[in-house]
Structure 1
């Protein structure tokens, strides 16, 4: 087989390498072309060198090109994968820093909440540019695989306004299944059969079977509470399981910021999170982790390049959906996974226009979703609250309506639990002004927002958050890695 895959945001070096090696685990794909594109020439050259080294080490005919000219990369592409982070860490820092001034403490801030909504405002105009280029220069039936957050908003915009065949992909379901298999004593996730459905980052294991035996709420709660690690790291997640009756896919830290109950006061935050790793609820945890990862990669690049000389191990193919979807579409080997698509009746008690995440099967006819799923009422209610925020956020990003953007933020569950309308209005003005370089649709609104900020009487505070950690230096990371290696 010979076709072209374009990867936008290929400068996300570690993730691009994973996708690349996964795809080359499919024997029929050795003759394909990978076209890498990114706004950073520096990152592009680093990842191209790594991928070239992999191709050379495995004696493959695979072609790898790299260009900052996105349109050139998309020419003739059959598949386009996006893993972009519009605004980079600079804009992301504002997604965390500014809401903290108004008492909103986020762990990740990339899906909803104040940070996630502004992240969507930066992404959506760029997503629509991607789609325009795909319609004009890619293969006629190009498929867009979006890995970038905010997943639901980006996918919603690409389908509804970009008019491109799009699927959103995430790995939260797989990670949740791995946890469940572990606490139940399964040898692997192969023993676990499950139906997981909802919206991205709020997906629910509504049916669980271990070797064919149904697993109920009480057994699952007992298994998690007995686990020596998860009982401490996933306290909030276990509490939701007890109250809702089903387990959520998302990590303790992620789930905490989608709900109005657990991060509304500093003392409540410290009660429900765990500081052993960023993902369990640390204030700005993913921002710290991303900063450290970038610094580490830049310093340790020669080691990453050397590691690329090893043969591809097909046994280490990851459970990221992309390679399996491409394999199913091109070879007709059926793949079952969980995909982000427009609802259209798949989940009976969620809005039809929403982007849902639910089980589906892929073969040469495309992605075929299992329809007619009904969520437990509490799960549906929680999802609908987020869907309403997502819908307003997408419409605001398309129209450049700053008042609608403020209403979207106001209706966010955690924002509403913490902030007054006056605080929300000022916070959005401050975020739009700070991020104006990445928000072209709000250019007309920035001068008035800046003027309102100059005369505002709303009080703020400089606050690091309830559970903030400093970014570790390269030396600290090296010492920690050495200690773990010695201990293990």
Structure 2
């Protein structure tokens, strides 16, 4: 009989995300007896998560045990799986700082968690903490697999495999499977009927093939139907996430121009390119329905909603939730039982995509079974898609080099290469913006940046 796995959750105070991941875990037969170690530095939020996780476990008929830790190494001891989900500096002060300082310099943002000055600062705040997890894993659970959900995904994942290549890890996002479901809803078809092949970089991967299964069992290209629905005003469906601010126009317009649909949302994609957010161009904001300052608004709403949900969970006898679209439980089950699955993961480009830089972080389909997480080769992607991705990889390359070599100059260079920032600010203005961000974040950033 197999022993029970140990699942360590770093950043367990992120109770909503913990609920989604562990809600899935407790419904997997092979994982029902798992030891779940919850770790967070915030004891109050840790206890809140403990209450929710215990009720999730009991409601699912799982019989494992739960331990709570504020000491990271103790939580990691003998772990089989390490789920990482945290935000260094939180909404306040650090996210607010990223938006306010950039706005003061004339640079508007939407999400600021992946690229641009916001993504760069978030990477600089986050990577040292991820490295400490890798160091502790090396000491107390060297065979464990890390499932990393922390943004900026590409830079974080890249920095970890560059310094700790022996750590088994994969960067996880829900944009590939999530967008596929959205497109199915836009066309009023069953998401289960879709078949697709996707590749690129995190938040800028494209469906190289997108097909649906017909009544006779054959598959047909879905792109002509999608284009026709958009041209007829039947797609995208409004308010698909219950958020009227996000209309998804940017992605459909890019689909018209490129011939392929991108995985990440319109509000994200708008700030990865130089075309949609420009000073004095309110016409562009209106035409493409770009929701400026979207992430801070979401943070405020989510915090308010969570306090209400938490009180309901505290008094509820049971917590029954629908399966999420997250890959974590699928990966754990496949690694633990050997039952094969396919997921999309962020991994090192080692011959996977020929016309993107080798060593960069790419998002591709991965086979998962008892042999581990095995990325699949894509080959060459369309040149215009690769060219667009390269503009983002330039930033990721320079920021990763900056933190690996403790080179402040490369931080400026990363910001200079950002497509959106370069379309709005001059070189001296970019340098001044970076200086002000470093000063404003202070001790949240590595000491070498402030020397």
Q: Give the TM-score range, shorter chain.
A: over 0.9
- 2:271 paired with 1:257: yes
Gaps of 5+ in 2: 239-246
Match of 2:286 among 271, 275, 283: 271
C-alpha separation in 2, matches of 1:321 and 1:294:
25
Aligned mates of 2:431, 2:302 — CA distance in 1: 34
Q: How does 1:268-347 map onto structure 2 within 5 Å?
A: 268-274=283-289, 281-307=290-316, 309-310=318-319, 312=320, 316-347=322-353
**Corresponding position of 1:201:** 203
Q: How does 1:19-38 map to 2 (within 5 A)?
A: 19-38=21-40
2:186, 2:234 within 8 Å by CA — same for their partners in 1?
A: no
Q: How far has the Cα of 1:9 moved from its partner?
A: 0.8
* Structure 1 residue 402: Cα displacement: 1.7
Q: Distance in 2 between matches of 1:82 and 1:22?
A: 16
TM-score by length of 2: 0.92
In structure 2, relative to structure 1, the CA distance for the partners of 1:217 and 1:302 (3 Å cut) is closer
Q: CA RMSD in A?
A: 1.7
> Bigger CA drift: 73-82 or 260-269?
260-269
Of 17-26 and 49-58, the range deviating more from structure 2: 49-58
Deviation at 1:85, TM superposition (A): 0.2
Q: TM-score, normalised by structure 1?
A: 0.85
Deviation string for 1:93-151 (max 9, x for gaps)?
Answer: 1111111122221110000011011100101111111100110111x311111001000
Within-5 A mapping of 1:104-183? 104-138=107-141, 140-163=142-165, 164-183=167-186
Cα distance, 1:269 vs structure 2: 4.0
Distance 1:253 1:230 in 2: 14
* Among candidates 219, 223, 239, match of residue 253 of structure 2: 239
Q: Deviations over 1:169-205 (max 9, x none)?
A: 000011210122223332x221110001100000101
For residues 356-404 of structure 1, the C-alpha deviation after alignment (integer angstroms, 9 at most, x for no partner) is 0111211111122221332211110111111111011112123332211
2:88 matched to 1:95?
no
Q: Could you tell me how far apart the structure 1 residues matched to 2:264 and 2:118 are?
A: 17
Counterpart for residue 458 of structure 1: none
Task: Report the counterpart of residue 381 of structure 1 in structure 2.
Answer: 387
